[in-house]
C-alpha cells in the first residue's frame, strides 16, 4: 500500500474493527510511508525482532490512523465553512435539479410503480425517489410533466447508468 491514510480515514470504532479483522486474518500492513513496516515483509527476522516491530507498527498505524481521520474531518469542516460563506454571499447554490428526470420519477409514482421498479428503470437512488415522493405528497402540482428527450449528461454517470436514463426518456 502506498499510504496508511488510504486505509485509515475511519472513525475510531471502525478502525478498531478493521484492526481486529486484520489481526484475525494475520494480515501485515506494509506501506511506503511507514518504513518500519518494511522489515515485516522480510521473513528472516527472529521472534524478538518480529514482536518488537509488530508492537511498533501497531502503535504507528494507530497514530497515523488518528492523524488521517483528523485531517479528513478538518478538510470536511473547512469545505463546509467555505460553502456556508459562499452561500451567504450568494455564490454557492449547489447542483441544479434535473427537473425532467424528477418529473419522470413523479409520473412513475403516480402510475403506481414501486420504488424498486423506479430505481431499476431510472438508475436513481432510493433517496431521490423518496424526495420526489415527499414532494408529491405535499403538492402534486409541484412536479411538472415529463419533457421527452430532455436528458442532461452528468460527469458522475457511468455508461450503463446513462444508457438506462436514455432508454427511460425515449
Do 137 and 158 reside in the same domain of the chain?
yes
User: Are 15 and 69 a contacting pair, CB within 8 Å?
Assistant: yes
User: Are 4 and 57 a contacting pair, CB within 8 Å?
Assistant: no
What Å distances lie between residue 158 and 123, 162, 163, 166, CA to CA?
10, 6, 9, 12
- What are the tens digits of pLDDT across the range 155-169? 445 666 666 666 666
Do 155 and 123 reside in the same domain of the chain?
yes
- Domain of residue 107 covers 99-169
User: Are 1 and 29 a contacting pair, CB within 8 Å?
Assistant: yes
What is the total count of domains within the chain? Answer: 2
| Domain-embedded: residue 93 | no
pLDDT computed for residue 57 by the predictor: 80
- What are the tens digits of pLDDT across the range 140-155? 555 444 333 333 434 4
pLDDT computed for residue 145 by the predictor: 40
Domain boundary (42, 62, 88) is at 88
pLDDT computed for residue 81 by the predictor: 95
| Domain-embedded: residue 157 | yes
Residue listed under C-alpha cell 502506498 = 2
Task: Report residues of the chain scoring pLDDT below 50.
Answer: 143-156
Angle at 124 between CA 121 and CA 130, to 5 degrees: 110
pLDDT computed for residue 119 by the predictor: 92
| Domain-embedded: residue 44 | yes
Cell numbers describing residue 95: 447542483
Do 77 and 131 reside in the same domain of the chain?
no
Amino acid at each position: 500500500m502506498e499510504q496508511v491514510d488510504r486505509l485509515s480515514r475511519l472513525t475510531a470504532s471502525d478502525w478498531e474493527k478493521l484492526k481486529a479483522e486484520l489481526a484475525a486474518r494475520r494480515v501485515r500492513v506494509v506501506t511506503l510511508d511507514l518504513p518500519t513496516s518494511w522489515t515485516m515483509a522480510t521473513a528472516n527476522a527472529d521472534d524478538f525482532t518480529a514482536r518488537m516491530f509488530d508492537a511498533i507498527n501497531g502503535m504507528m498505524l494507530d497514530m497515523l490512523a488518528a492523524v488521517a481521520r483528523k485531517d479528513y474531518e478538518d478538510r470536511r469542516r473547512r469545505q463546509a465553512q467555505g460553502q456556508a460563506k459562499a452561500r451567504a454571499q450568494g455564490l454557492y447554490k449547489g447542483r441544479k435539479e434535473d427537473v425532467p428526470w424528477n418529473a419522470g420519477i413523479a409520473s412513475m409514482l403516480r402510475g403506481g410503480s414501486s420504488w424498486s421498479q423506479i430505481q431499476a428503470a431510472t438508475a436513481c437512488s432510493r433517496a431521490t425517489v423518496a424526495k420526489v415522493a415527499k414532494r408529491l405528497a405535499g403538492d402534486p402540482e409541484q412536479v411538472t410533466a415529463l419533457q421527452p428527450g430532455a436528458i442532461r449528461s452528468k460527469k458522475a454517470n457511468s455508461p450503463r447508468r446513462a444508457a438506462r436514463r436514455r432508454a427511460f426518456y425515449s
